[in-house]
Amino acid sequence: MPVMPVTDSMFLLGESREHPMHVGGLQLYELPEGAGPDYLNQMYHSLIGDEAGVQELFRQRPRRPVSSLGQWSWSHDDLLDMEYHVRFSALPRPGRVRELLELVSRLHGSLLDRHRPLWEFSLIEGLEGNRFATYSKVHHALMDGVSSIILANRALSADPSTMNMPPVWAVPPLEKPATNGHGGPLALLESLRDMTSDLAGVLPAVVRNANTALREQASVLPFQAPRTIFNVQITGARRFAAQKWDLDRIKAIRKVTGATLNDVVLAMCAGALRRYLMQLDALPDRPLIAMVPVSLRGKQKKSEASGNSVGAILVNLGTHLSDPAERFAAIQQSAQVAKRSLAELSPLQILALSGLTMAPLAFAPIPGVVKLTPPPFNLIISNVPGAQKPLYWNGARLQGMYPLSIPYDGQALNITITSYAGALNFGLTGCRRNVPHLQRMLTHLDESLVELETAVKS
Amino acid sequence: MPVMPVTDSMFLLGESREHPMHVGGLQLYELPEGAGPDYLNQMYHSLIGDEAGVQELFRQRPRRPVSSLGQWSWSHDDLLDMEYHVRFSALPRPGRVRELLELVSRLHGSLLDRHRPLWEFSLIEGLEGNRFATYSKVHHALMDGVSSIILANRALSADPSTMNMPPVWAVPPLEKPATNGHGGPLALLESLRDMTSDLAGVLPAVVRNANTALREQASVLPFQAPRTIFNVQITGARRFAAQKWDLDRIKAIRKVTGATLNDVVLAMCAGALRRYLMQLDALPDRPLIAMVPVSLRGKQKKSEASGNSVGAILVNLGTHLSDPAERFAAIQQSAQVAKRSLAELSPLQILALSGLTMAPLAFAPIPGVVKLTPPPFNLIISNVPGAQKPLYWNGARLQGMYPLSIPYDGQALNITITSYAGALNFGLTGCRRNVPHLQRMLTHLDESLVELETAVKS
């Protein structure tokens, strides 16, 4: 029973009823043609029936034997209770996405049971429009958010006729991390994953460096994050909002403006945050600052070694500007300056930032880091590339997949976006008490996109 | 902001992710005639709409200000979030009681959020047979199990035509505890409640006394509780099983045998426990011992003062005996001897036992009490009298109400029974890991009843 690396156990040690440390994924599927009323019931029974297929990662449970002096270790769970981990749920009528998000918010807010392997999976029926949904929940000590998106993708097939596909917990691990070069939508994801494991030994030290690096970056940038309602101590309950937008709309704006895709996404978020905070009479005079993971591939020649192609930048969201075109220009410029500053950082500092990006939560368990005032940034906005082709699970077409992240003290709202099949899928995870009416952000994101479209046309 | 009495705060202090300290209630209703497909949706919206009606008890939240040196106090919650506390859920098809119990088991296993008033209520649709259900969850620091059953009864009406009835959290508190003498099915309940508040100041001391009293009682009785699978450290997840049986069947057995109703209930449980443990190859050679709250009214002349009419006895369940008639006789005899011994205890000791009965959990937070070996008893079997007439909630007939109790370390299974409208409603709450296949107990209870019926006929 080997002792758990501190990079895993820090997520157990740092966890409390206010800070559940699991990531989640919501997936919406179309019911395949000819699916009868018992389709999901049968699927559920086949899911709980195949205990033998469960991979070791999903059989581990954390233990802290007295003899280990408080060190956590992983042990094999001989009493796997499939009906505990895999749940069959339903939505009340009318079964809109609204009811789905209510349910998923609740599921995401409760702690995983440490006496068992740290995962849960819910199959959800009753979604209108001939659809169903799944929600999965994995502890960060087991898997980070990016790895969970990779795994979710690997469990699916581009071929609608593939059947007898194993569920996500029965997908065998990769023999070697795929090294499919520049190709394939999953290449970046895989490289991110490689990096996280590379970082395993050094992360805790690196997190401190990351913070220093971010502060240095901030010091060369002409702004400082204001206090907002997002930068407070949080409570245990969660609220989740999710929606997708056509990638073509974002691409059209990019084309006209010469901005990056990420710039457009940030501008969409910035406009929405401005509206949201104004409605709550909580918009600060100074602009909000986002911490944004970015790919440095092609920009950063000296970091061509595996992994080091992702960093984090601080971006001025221009939320103090009422004109959407001005706001967009401010974001573009700020991102460019930040990326240049980033390019001037040492490889160690970039590595540090990458560590930070992969494990923003690493902040939370380290005393003194969370309560830094003022906050180095107001929220994290991550854009994780996903598969571009439609994917299927035993013939059921995946309509959308939405990541659920981990709010923590000082960071009550997280926005994570993943692309899939020609759409950008936004997942907003917030502390239920400190981020009220989170659903309104969806309307505001939509308004913000329309505003941008209008602005670039004129 | 007054400091919370230790009788309340001990349930907060003693709580952990393994030991959620809330009680629950499951209620099944018939949909009233003419209820359309939107009946429950409308009910849900009316429930969350009436924030103004919420009583102070359901607006309190626990606080532990730094200035209080770790003492808990109650504070008024100005930001009551009705959609958080009141939830609309649904069952997957086919929507049998089985699916309902799965859902309720999950709901009962998660911790209440301490940043909010300590209650949750779920309205559940999709139950087959033209029914719906409600599940409510209240922290023990707010209300004990008996009080919650009283309140649930008070929220209902014997008149099916009564409409615009407030939900349970909007029922005004009684000006004075009802003192309707011997009459009314709620009299005993009310007297129990009176007693709990009488005990407020003395409980912690009393719990120690209770334990002493129980040990004394045990020492005069010719048995000692064996170790069983129920008397172990527990985990956080729960399993709940519930079913009702006609009171007439139990009464028929009572009539033939001259036993008490409680004796028959205990015999039913004993037969079921024997079968259950045999199937798991876990039946001890020595008989299981149950701790059973009993009414002493009429038996105990010297304790006529308010309250002191309830005590707890230890009963030999005769689970080592294969013959149901012999087992029944052993239970009857054991209960008689125990009640006699109880009658010989001092009033303080009876009070102590009563304290124990009302707050069995009081054990858990006191170090050294939980881990006593061997266990003083194997499980608690409580029979709480309820209303005998059919009750209605805005015209919806209550079919059954089932109490969910609190397993704790050393007591992984709890059986609580409440009577309602000519039936005995059994609620079995167990630690999900240590009490496997709890649903089988329902079959075994049924078999056990049939076995008793056959035994008394011959």
Predicted-complex ipTM score: 0.78
pLDDT for residue B270 is more than 60: yes
Q: State how far the Cα of A246 lies from the Cα of A453, in Å rounded to an integer.
A: 13
Q: What is the CATH number of the domain that holds B84?
A: 3.30.559.10
CA distances from B79 to A328, B12, B59 (A): 36, 22, 9
**Mean pLDDT along residues B252-270:** 95
- Which residue from B99, B115, B237 is facing A235, i.e. has the nearest CB? B115
Q: Is residue A258 part of a domain?
A: yes
Averaged pLDDT for residues A221-228: 75
Distance separating alpha carbons of residues A258 and A253, to the nearest angstrom: 8
Range with lowest mean pLDDT among A273-282, A304-313, A423-432, B427-436 = A304-313
Per-residue pLDDT at A344: 62
Q: Give the one of A83, A84, A93 whose C-beta lies nearest to B37's C-beta.
A: A93
The more confident residue out of A364 and B22 is B22
Four-residue CA torsion sign, B187, B188, B189, B194: positive
Across A219-244, average pLDDT: 83
Supply the residues of A annotated as catalytic. Answer: 140
Q: Which of A170, A187, A213 is the last residue of a domain?
A: A170
**pLDDT value at A209 more than 80:** no
The verdict on A353 and A447 lying in the same domain is yes
pLDDT for res A49? 92
CA distance B91 to chain A (A): 5
pLDDT band at B295 (very low <50, low <70, confident <90, very high): low
What is the domain range of residue A100? 6-170
Residue A214 lies in a domain: yes
Residue B112 has pLDDT above 80, yes or no: yes
- Domain match, B134 and B271 both: no
Residue to substitute from B433, B434, B435, B438, interface A, most A β-carbons within 10 A: B433
Per-residue pLDDT, averaged over A336-357, amounts to: 62
From B143's Cα to the closest Cα of chain A, the distance in A is: 22
Q: How far is A125 from chain B (nearest CA, A)?
A: 6
Residues B148 and B269 in one domain: no
We report the CATH number of the domain holding residue B282 as 3.30.559.30
Query: Which of B141-145, B298-302, B402-406 has the lowest average pLDDT?
Result: B298-302
What is the identity of the amino acid at B123?
L
Residue A106 class from Cβ within 10 Å (0-12 exposed, 13-18 middle, 19+ buried)? buried
Chain A residues bordering chain B (beta-carbon distance below 8 Å) = 17-18, 37-38, 40-41, 44, 79, 81, 83-84, 87-94, 99, 102-103, 106, 109-111, 113-116, 125-126, 235-237, 432-433
Q: Assess whether B334 and B433 both reside in one domain.
A: yes
Average of per-residue pLDDT values in chain A:
81
pLDDT at residue A338, rounded to an integer? 80
Give yes or no: residues A165 and A271 share one domain.
no
Give a yes or no: residue B192 inside a domain: no
CB-based contact A427:A405 (threshold 8 Å): yes
Would you call A92 and B126 a contact, using CB atoms and an 8 Å cutoff? Answer: yes
Residue A378 forms part of a structural domain? yes
Q: How many domains does chain A have?
A: 2
In a domain, B222, yes or no: yes
pLDDT at B200: 40
Inter-chain Cβ pairs, chain A and chain B, closer than 8 A: 99
> B193-233: per-residue pLDDT in tens?
444 444 343 344 445 555 555 666 555 565 578 989 998 88
The yes-or-no verdict on residue A234 having pLDDT over 50 is yes
- Between A372 and B291, the more confident residue is B291
Q: What is the mean pLDDT of residues A271-277?
A: 98
Question: Which run of H or of E encompasses B196?
Answer: helix B187-198
The whole-angstrom separation of Cα B221 and Cα A111 is 44
Percent of chain B's residues with pLDDT above 70: 74
Residue B195 forms part of a structural domain: no
**What residues are paired with A241 via a beta bridge?**
A428
More confident: B212 or A455? A455
Residue-wise pLDDT tens digits, A10-68:
667 667 777 788 889 999 999 999 999 999 999 999 999 989 999 998 999 888 766 66
Give yes or no: residues B268 and B413 share one domain. Answer: yes
Whether residue A191 has pLDDT greater than 50? no
Residue B138's pLDDT is 92
Which of B40, B89, B235 lies closest to A115 in CB terms? B235
Q: What is the pLDDT of residues B70-85, one digit of tens each?
A: 677 888 888 899 999 9
Known catalytic residue at B140: yes
For A84, which of B38, B90, B432 is closest by C-beta distance? B432
The C-alpha angle with vertex B204 and arms to B200 and B207, in degrees rounded to 5, equals: 110
Report chain B residues whose CB lies below 8 A from the CB of A236.
111, 113-115
pLDDT above 50 (res B352): yes
CB-closest option in A92, A111, A236 to B88: A92
Same domain, A62 and A142: yes
Q: Which of A121, A149, A170 is the last residue of a domain?
A: A170
| Residues A312 and A407 grouped into a single domain | yes
CB within 8 Å of B339: residues ≥ 6 apart: B294, B296, B299, B313
DSSP states along B14-54: T-BTTB--EEEEEEEEEPPTT--TTHHHHHHHHHHH--TT-
Residues B151 and B212 in one domain: no
**3-class secondary-structure state, position A288:** coil
* Mean pLDDT in residue range A85-105: 96
Asked whether the predicted pLDDT for residue B398 surpasses 80, the reply is yes
- B113 and B230 part of one domain: no
Task: Give the pair of three-digit tokens for residue A57.
Answer: 């990662």
Q: Lowest-pLDDT range, A57-61, A106-110, A304-308, B442-446?
A: A304-308
Most confident of A189-203, A401-415, B13-27, B314-328: B314-328
Out of B44, B93, B116, closest to residue A41 by CB: B93
What is the nearest CA distance from A57 to chain B, expressed in angstroms? Answer: 20
Asked if the structure places residue A446 within a domain, the reply is: yes
Residue A1 resides in a domain = no
> Which candidate in A44, A61, A105, A106 is best for mutational testing of the B interface (most B CBs within 10 A)?
A106
Percent of chain A with pLDDT over 70: 74
What's the predicted TM-score (pTM) here?
0.83
By C-alpha distance, which of B294, B244, B272 is closest to B419? B244
pLDDT averaged over every residue in chain B = 81
- Distance from the Cα of residue A263 to its chain's centroid: 18
A382-395 pLDDT per residue, tens: 888 888 899 999 99
pLDDT, tens digit (0-9, with 9 covering 90-100), for A365-377:
444 444 545 567 8
Q: Answer with the one of B170, B189, B224 that is the final residue of a domain.
A: B170
Name residues whose C-beta falls within 8 Å of residue B329's C-beta, 6 or more positions apart in sequence: B318
Those residues whose C-beta lies under 8 Å from the C-beta of residue B370, and which sit 6 or more positions away, are B363, B364, B408, B409, B410
Q: How far is A51 from chain B (nearest CA, A)?
A: 17
Q: Residue type at B355?
A: G
Position with higher pLDDT, A166 vs A293: A166
Q: Which residues of A touch B89 (CB under 8 A)?
A: 90, 92, 103
Interface-testing mutation among B78, B111, B113, B135, with chain A (most A C-beta atoms within 10 A)? B113
Both B325 and B382 in a single domain?
yes
| Chain segment B42-71, per-residue pLDDT in tens | 999 999 998 999 999 899 988 876 666 667
Is the pLDDT at B304 greater than 70? The verdict is: no
Q: State the best of B106, B114, B229, B235 to mutate against chain A, taking most chain A CBs within 10 Å.
A: B106
Same domain, A250 and A383: yes
Which residue in B139, B140, B437, B444 is the catalytic one? Answer: B140
